[in-house]
């Protein structure tokens, strides 16, 4: 029996409702295995701005640090999106959380579920069997470099990477590849960018420590095609922050729905687990949000806590929901189930 | 009858063989319409490095400037690709050409040809009817900002945009949209990047001058999904250099083959027309390279010279090749034609 503190950061839009289902499933896991998960809920994003003026209140950050793991919903609200130059924005909470908690690696597995092949915009034979994982650097690069305006009205963003920033995530990606199909692809733009050339150098230096792993190098423009043309060629993809943002959202089309894709952000300290979908404000409160990405994020959280049997059981329960079409409207338009029902069905199978 | 000087820059790999077919087609156009196209050929890329040590010799640049239009093949050679830190690289020739000739806008139309729907990795119903054009900024941003290493071994790349750089391409994109389906989508990352916020500001300022054009704003990560999920929603896409590199290569999967996609790079001065595919060194000299992208680039060149009837005829001839399956192996694996044969067939229809 284990006791674990889990900080919940439901956030905005559909964040709270999908988190609720993940909690339901974690509660079922706790009951079945005799564990205790202690949940506390904290503000982040637009709701935190509305309540406190700060998208990431100190209280929230302290709660994350005091927890064994964080379950995150989603952030973002149209009232801030439509004003990108607003001084305080929900995204700042997310970016600051990543930086403060040292979440330098965002890990996104992408699987083509058999039951969902018909929902993908890609032809089934191209994607069936896809099983890749993207390691996106999350606390460096152009996201966190200097940015501003110059006297002449022009704008700038600076992209920087140190060797250490590249090394730590490269080791994680190599370790992951070693335990999977032993194939790592670095995605960069080394024919143009100096930072990309440094990424290649560092990865080349590290590669000999993982002799069983084959390393490929792909320019990001080519990678953006290859992921669609032949996603099965990939095992582990390693890339920098901005390219990872683009490539990992692009790769989500393979699964047929964003509503299926979990992610983990890890660092030195505590780790954060979140569905890759956004706050989807149009769906808020309608019971149509797919909770499976949040539930699969909870499975990644269990793996992280070394509760692997428990994690496997959650994934099996999700497979049951997929096989039996107990799915929200975007995946089952003719006989849809609600967010709540899908969560309960998965919990029931635990 | 018109007389035009066309500078040919065949470049590396399959560049020369596909350019040859485009020239054949332009010769047929000249004969049919009684024009005179004066071709001169010049070095660029790896072959230029091998011959002169310089990927863009002065002679080549002068010839471009003295011409009415430039037809470009492709550049790149594995012996340089595998050494991204080599001091002289073929890509430098391409980037310098863009800068020296002021080619600030790269224009890439993407069409889903009916005859090719089965070759696309995307399901036919998702892409049938797609007709979009991407305006990629080509002489600014992170490609041309300061880059280097710091004393501590870290690397940097600087991204900068001035208002003027954004305005001039935005006007081109709005004009194009006004003559098409009156819909422009700006792709940026305004929730993170200061340069993107400037792009949004400038586009918002310009929009009222084109009241008939509806403007949308899309974050690049979302755009990377939307282009695959529902490409028909797009008419004109406007974006900065790095995002345009990724998004436009990604969008090429819609057509079912890179071998079909032409592009135009325009600026104050002379314009350059080139297939979007690369030098594809593995295919060099085998007669399997698809010449249609180069031929369709020649059609864009004719449009640029205001020879619109001639351009339309070339496109009709290409349609004949598609309809009758007179295609290279990647599109017609069972009864393939050679590069040469496809070029001759198109020329024959002129
Ligand atoms: C909201 C935004 C700042 C964020 C990012 O770009 O990192 C999001 O797109 C993501 O991928 O988590
Ligand atoms: C070869 C490379 C420098 C170039 C670019 O990134 O611009 C190419 O990918 C392109 O899109 O024309």
Tokens representing B162 are 């001035």
Give yes or no: B27 in active site: no
B158/A229 Cβ within 8 A: no
Residues A53 and A98: their CA atoms lie apart, in Å, by 19
User: Using an 8 Å Cβ cutoff, are B92 and B101 in contact?
Assistant: no
Of the candidates B34, B40, B42, which has an alpha carbon nearest to the alpha carbon of residue B3?
A: B34
Q: List CB contacts (< 8 A) between A123 and chain B.
A: 120-123
Dihedral of alpha carbons A182, A187, A190, A193, sign:
negative
Instruction: Say which residue the tokens 């918002």 belong to.
Output: B204
Mutate to test the pocket of ligand 1, among A80, A91, A134 (most ligand atoms within 8 A of CB): A91
What would the mean pLDDT of B29-45 be, rounded to a whole number? Answer: 97
What lies within 8 Å, CB to CB, of B87 at 6+ separation is none
Give yes or no: A80 in active site: no
Q: How confident is the model at residue A1 (pLDDT cuts 50, 70, 90)?
A: confident
What would the mean pLDDT of B150-159 be, rounded to a whole number? Answer: 98
Of the candidates B24, B12, B10, which has an alpha carbon nearest to the alpha carbon of residue B70?
A: B10
Percentage of residues in chain A having pLDDT higher than 90: 90
B153: left (phi over 0), alpha (psi -120 to 50) or beta: left
Has this prediction a pTM greater than 0.75? yes
Render pLDDT for B290-317 as a digit per residue (tens, 0 to 9): 999 999 999 999 999 999 999 999 999 9
**Domains of chain B by range and CATH?**
1-101+269-350 (3.40.718.10), 105-258 (3.40.718.10)
Render pLDDT for A108-164 as a digit per residue (tens, 0 to 9): 999 998 888 988 999 999 999 999 999 999 999 999 999 999 999 999 999 999 999
Straight-line distance from the first to the last Cα atom of chain A, in angstroms, rounded to the nearest whole number: 17
Residues B173 and B136: their CA atoms lie apart, in Å, by 9
Substitution target from B191, B229, B239, B257 for chain A, most A beta carbons within 10 A: B191
Straight-line distance from the first to the last Cα atom of chain B, in angstroms, rounded to the nearest whole number: 17
Render pLDDT for A155-183 as a digit per residue (tens, 0 to 9): 999 999 999 999 999 999 999 999 999 99
Of the candidates B137, B68, B78, B129, which has an alpha carbon nearest to the alpha carbon of residue B106?
A: B137
Residues B138 and B241: their CA atoms lie apart, in Å, by 5
Q: How confident is the model at residue B45 (pLDDT cuts 50, 70, 90)?
A: very high
Helix, strand, coil percentages (3-state) for chain A, rounded to 5, are 50, 20, 30
CB-count exposure of residue B260 (10 Å: 0-12, 13-18, 19+):
buried
How far A185 CA lies from chain B's nearest CA (Å)? Answer: 15
A91/B191 Cβ within 8 A: yes
Q: Which of the residues A68, A216, A249, A319 is marked catalytic?
A: A249
Burial B148-159 (b: 16+ CB within 10 A, else e): eeeeeebbbbbb
According to DSSP, residue B234 is labeled -
Q: How many CB atoms lie within 10 A of CB A309?
A: 10
Q: How many CB atoms lie within 10 A of CB B189?
A: 26
pLDDT of residue A146: 97
Distance of CA A130 to the CA centre of its chain: 18
Sheet order of strands, A147-149 included? A147-149, A155-161, B155-161, B147-149
Of the candidates B21, B9, B17, B20, which has an alpha carbon nearest to the alpha carbon of residue B46?
A: B9
User: Using an 8 Å Cβ cutoff, are A223 and A255 in contact?
Assistant: no
Ligand 2: residue whose CA is nearest its atom 10:
B245
Q: Is B225 in the pocket of ligand 1 (CB under 6 A)?
A: no
Residues B22 and A124: their CA atoms lie apart, in Å, by 36
pLDDT of residue A83: 65
Instruction: Say which residue the tokens 């005859």 belong to.
Output: B115
Cα-based angle A232, A235, A239 (whole degrees, multiple of 5): 115
Give yes or no: A143 in active site: yes
How far A310 CA lies from chain B's nearest CA (Å)? Answer: 32
Q: How confident is the model at residue B39 (pLDDT cuts 50, 70, 90)?
A: very high
Instruction: Say which residue the tokens 């959380």 belong to.
Output: A97
Q: What is the SS3 assignment for B190?
A: coil
Substitution target from A77, A139, A189, A224 for chain B, most B beta carbons within 10 A: A224
Ligand 2: residue whose CA is nearest its atom 11:
B245
Tokens representing A196 are 């990309």
Q: Is A94 in the pocket of ligand 1 (CB under 6 A)?
A: yes
Output B91 or B29, whichever has higher pLDDT.
B29
What would the mean pLDDT of A330-335 be, rounded to a whole number? Answer: 93
Residues A62 and A3: their CA atoms lie apart, in Å, by 19
Render pLDDT for B191-236 as a digit per residue (tens, 0 to 9): 899 999 999 999 999 999 999 999 999 999 999 999 999 999 999 9
Q: Which of the residues B143, B210, B337, B345 is marked catalytic?
A: B143
pLDDT of residue B85: 62
Residue B330 sits at φ, ψ, to 5 deg, of -65, -25
pLDDT of residue A82: 64
Q: Which ligand number lies closest to the CA of residue A243?
A: 1
Q: Is B91 in the pocket of ligand 2 (CB under 6 A)?
A: yes
B160/A159 Cβ within 8 A: no
pLDDT of residue A343: 98
pLDDT of residue A256: 84
Nearest to A156 among B89, B195, B200 (CB): B195
CB-count exposure of residue B124 (10 Å: 0-12, 13-18, 19+):
middle
Q: How confident is the model at residue B322 (pLDDT cuts 50, 70, 90)?
A: very high
Render pLDDT for A218-252 as a digit per residue (tens, 0 to 9): 999 999 999 999 999 999 999 999 999 999 999 99
**Atom number of ligand 2 nearest to Cα A189:** 6
**Atom number of ligand 2 nearest to Cα A192:** 3
Q: Is A225 in the pocket of ligand 2 (CB under 6 A)?
A: no
Render pLDDT for A42-94 as a digit per residue (tens, 0 to 9): 999 999 999 999 999 999 999 999 999 999 999 998 888 666 567 788 989 99
User: Using an 8 Å Cβ cutoff, are B216 and B268 in contact?
Assistant: no
Percentage of residues in chain A having pLDDT higher than 70: 98
pLDDT of residue B35: 98
Residues A136 and A105: their CA atoms lie apart, in Å, by 6
Ligand 2: residue whose CA is nearest its atom 2:
B91
Asked if residue A332 has pLDDT above 70, the reply is yes
Rg of chain B, C-alpha, whole Å? 20
Of the candidates A344, A325, A341, which has an alpha carbon nearest to the alpha carbon of residue A333?
A: A325
Q: How many CB atoms lie within 10 A of CB B121?
A: 21
Q: List CB contacts (< 8 A) between B261 and chain A.
A: none
Give yes or no: B245 in active site: yes
Give yes or no: B50 in active site: no
Asked if residue B84 has pLDDT above 60, the reply is no
E strands, A220-278, are 236-239, 262-266, 272-275
């Amino acid at each position: 029996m284990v006791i674990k503190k889990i900080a919940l950061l439901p956030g905005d839009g559909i964040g709270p409702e999908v988190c609720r289902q993940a909690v339901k499933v974690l509660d079922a896991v706790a009951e079945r295995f005799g564990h205790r998960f202690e949940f506390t809920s904290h503000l982040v994003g637009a709701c935190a701005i509305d309540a406190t003026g700060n998208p990431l209140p100190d209280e929230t950050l302290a709660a994350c640090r005091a927890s064994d793991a964080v379950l995150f919903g989603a952030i973002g609200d149209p009232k801030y999106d439509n004003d990108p130059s607003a001084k305080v924005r929900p995204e700042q909470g997310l970016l600051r959380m990543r930086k403060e908690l040292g979440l330098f690696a965002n890990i996104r597995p992408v699987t083509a579920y058999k039951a969902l092949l018909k929902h993908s915009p890609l032809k089934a034979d191209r994607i069936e069997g896809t099983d890749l994982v993207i390691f996106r650097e999350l606390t460096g690069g152009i996201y966190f470099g200097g940015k501003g305006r110059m006297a002449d009205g022009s704008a700038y963003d600076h992209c920087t990477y140190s060797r250490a920033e590249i090394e730590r995530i490269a080791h994680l990606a190599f370790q992951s590849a070693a335990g999977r199909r032993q194939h790592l692809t670095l995605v960069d733009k080394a024919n143009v960018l100096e930072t990309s050339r440094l990424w290649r150098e560092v990865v080349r230096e590290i590669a000999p420590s993982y002799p069983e792993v084959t390393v490929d190098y792909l320019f990001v423009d080519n990678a953006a095609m290859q992921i669609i043309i032949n996603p099965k060629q990939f095992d582990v993809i390693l890339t920098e922050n901005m390219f990872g943002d683009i490539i990992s959202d692009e790769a989500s089309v393979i699964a047929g729905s964003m509503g299926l894709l979990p992610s983990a952000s890890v660092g030195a300290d505590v780790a954060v687990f979140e569905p890759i979908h956004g706050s989807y404000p149009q769906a808020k409160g309608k019971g149509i949000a797919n909770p499976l990405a949040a539930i699969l994020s909870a499975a990644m959280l269990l793996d992280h806590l070394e509760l692997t049997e428990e994690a496997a059981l959650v994934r099996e329960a999700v497979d049951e929901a997929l096989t039996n079409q107990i799915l929200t409207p975007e995946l089952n338009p003719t006989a849809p189930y609600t967010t709540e029902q899908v969560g309960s069905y998965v919990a029931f199978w635990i």
